[in-house]
Structure 1
Amino acid sequence: MCRHLAFLGPPAPLGDLLVRPPHSLFVQSWAPRRQRHGTVNADGFGVGWYADGDPAPARYRRAGPVWSDLSFADLARVVRSGAFLGAVRDATRAGADGEAAAAPFTYGPWLFSHNGMVAGWPNSVAELARSLPVEELLSLEARCDSALVWALLLHRLRSGDELPQALADTVTDVAAAAPGSRLNLLVTDGTQIAATAWGDSLWYLAGGGRAVVASEPYDDDPEWREVPDRTLLTASRTDVLPTPLKDPEPKEPMA
């Protein structure tokens, strides 16, 4: 169910991480090594990146498989950035949203991706959806589970919550409403990365003034570290902090 990667560090061509490595995100679109659910990530892709002096990221997304887009390979070869997020998508179910459903989603300085699925979608999270202001529901970029999870997280961020706490609370709220969901979320604002391991693989590579957080390693560097399930991971260019997450308490049955 999707693969994604976020990078912070010295400016580098996007392709150095997304295309060139032997097990890059590009390769993971058809041959992931550690994906536990699904096999081919061909239902869209995207990358968002930050340019010096502009806090709002640029974004390139398409509805089809990344290997069919020659323009992306050319763009990734020359565009350099010190912070970016890329994703390839395996759709939970067929839909007509196309490019709009491909990560990264964005608002203000944030880029967001979801690797996983919301169990029982959409009925399981109808109550959570009703908790959002109507204008935020009407602003959903797509009608998929990832778009709603992003809306729930964004509502917390707009309300002033710090990114790590907003991410953790969003995951536990959705997990409580929809047990069995897989909620590996990945977010960056260009200065920090926050991610959750909740039902699928998550790894990080840190050192030398850079941090990479990804669904799986893009090479065989022994410095890659796997993140335990039920973990919130926060990373900057100099520090990585894992924090355990607790499963939500079971809801009491309605009388």
Structure 2
Amino acid sequence: MCRHLAYLGPPRTLAELITAPPYGLHRQSWAPRRQRHGTVNADGFGIGWYPEPAPPGGPAPEPARYRRSIPLWADGNLPDLARAVRSTAVLAAVRSATAGTSQDEAAAAPFAAGPWLFSHNGAVSRWTDLPADTGWPLSPAALLSLEARCDSALLWAMTLTLLRSGTPAGDALAAVVHATAAVRPDARLNLLLTDGRSIAAVRHGDTLWWRAEPGPGNAVTVASEPDTEDGTGWQEVPDRSLLLATPAGTRVLPPADGPSAAAPPPPPPPSAVLAPGPA
């Protein structure tokens, strides 16, 4: 398994989001409290952030990334980077690798394309057979261009086919989870996606929480687990649910309407099935 988080709101340093919270992602890399599979996340980490806020009505800027194949706590460069970099949108993850996947930094989330950042918390058995078993329309070129040999990179490629076809983010995640779970019932598929303006996330097989912080600019954080001792202010997302969030508001679609209820994608990619509407 892994742990991950996404943040949208007023500018904050990476340290405020990742290393400073007493039970934040830094601690979760070596002592997660709510992780259901695995005990440590020491197979790498990654941080993605947007150097500039997305202009209203304009194209979202491409994010920057910093990824390593070592444990987060072992990176001597991170403290300086974390205190110096400030952003209005961040996605970060610590990795516990699925058996049989590559161990280099390219396998560490977040994965990226255009304005998107993506992370997978979970595991998929026999993942190399997944495109054939699901009938997912991935071209040979897409398979050959996978950033890493791992289940997370493949799930990202599947998601990206839908995003590039114009499918809304929540619908894309729901369709990937539905299609994968249909042929891999034991798969754990917590997915997290942001374009710097909004967050879409699925809870399927592990924990997921969110916290809204009203105030100037508002803020929302979505994470595998709360970053405070008592979890005050955090709300748990029910399993098999889809979360859609912006700083202005958060919606959680219940299990009956969430990823398990989404129609699987036929070739070509499907139209929207969840109609997320305003967050």
Q: Is the 8 A contact 2:49 2:63 kept in 1?
A: yes
Q: Is the 8 A contact 2:8 2:197 kept in 1?
A: yes
Q: Please list, as runs of the form range in 1=range in 2, the aligned pairs for 1:125-140 lying within 5 A after superposition.
A: 125-128=131-134, 131-140=137-146
**CA distance in structure 2 between the aligned counterparts of 1:158 and 1:66, rounded to whole angstroms:** 32
Using the TM superposition, give the Cα deviation of residue 81 of structure 1 relative to its aligned residue in structure 2, in angstroms. 0.2
SS of the aligned residue for 1:85 comes to strand
Q: Is the 8 A contact 2:63 2:115 kept in 1?
A: yes
Q: Is the 8 A contact 1:185 1:196 kept in 2?
A: yes
SS of the aligned residue for 1:201 comes to coil
Counterpart in the other structure of 2:7: 7
Q: Using a 3 Å threshold, how does the CA distance of structure 1 residues 201 and 94 change in structure 2: closer, same or farther? A: same
Q: Is the 8 A contact 1:29 1:88 kept in 2?
A: yes
Indicate the larger mover: 151-160 or 215-224.
Answer: 215-224
Q: Is the 8 A contact 2:13 2:84 kept in 1?
A: yes
**CA distance in structure 2 between the aligned counterparts of 1:189 and 1:130, rounded to whole angstroms:** 23
Using the TM superposition, give the Cα deviation of residue 243 of structure 1 relative to its aligned residue in structure 2, in angstroms. 0.8
Q: Please list, as runs of the form range in 1=range in 2, the aligned pairs for 1:168-207 lying within 5 A after superposition.
A: 168-207=174-213
Q: Please list, as runs of the form range in 1=range in 2, the aligned pairs for 1:56-95 lying within 5 A after superposition.
A: 56-95=62-101
Counterpart in the other structure of 1:24: 24
Q: 2:223 aligns with which of 196, 203, 214?
A: 214
Q: Which amino acid aligns with 1:222?
A: T
**Could you list the runs of 5+ residues in structure 2 that have no partner in the other structure?**
54-59, 265-279
Counterpart in the other structure of 1:161: 167
Counterpart in the other structure of 2:38: 38
- TM-score of the pair, normalised by structure 1: 0.93
Q: Which amino acid aligns with 2:123?
A: M
**Could you list the runs of 5+ residues in structure 1 that have no partner in the other structure?**
none
- TM-score of the pair, normalised by structure 2: 0.85
Using the TM superposition, give the Cα deviation of residue 119 of structure 1 relative to its aligned residue in structure 2, in angstroms. 2.8
Q: Is the 8 A contact 1:207 1:238 kept in 2?
A: no
Determine what percentage of the aligned residue pairs are the same residue: 56
Counterpart in the other structure of 2:250: 240
**CA distance in structure 1 between the aligned counterparts of 2:195 and 2:177, rounded to whole angstroms:** 18
Q: Is the 8 A contact 1:125 1:174 kept in 2?
A: no
Q: Is the 8 A contact 1:87 1:104 kept in 2?
A: yes
1:150 and 2:156 equivalent? Answer: yes
Q: Which amino acid aligns with 2:126?
A: G
RMSD over aligned Cα atoms: 1.8
Q: Which amino acid aligns with 1:228?
A: P
Q: Which amino acid aligns with 2:260?
A: D
Using the TM superposition, give the Cα deviation of residue 120 of structure 1 relative to its aligned residue in structure 2, in angstroms. 3.3
SS of the aligned residue for 1:187 comes to strand
1:101 and 2:114 equivalent? Answer: no
Counterpart in the other structure of 2:275: none
Q: Which amino acid aligns with 1:144?
A: C
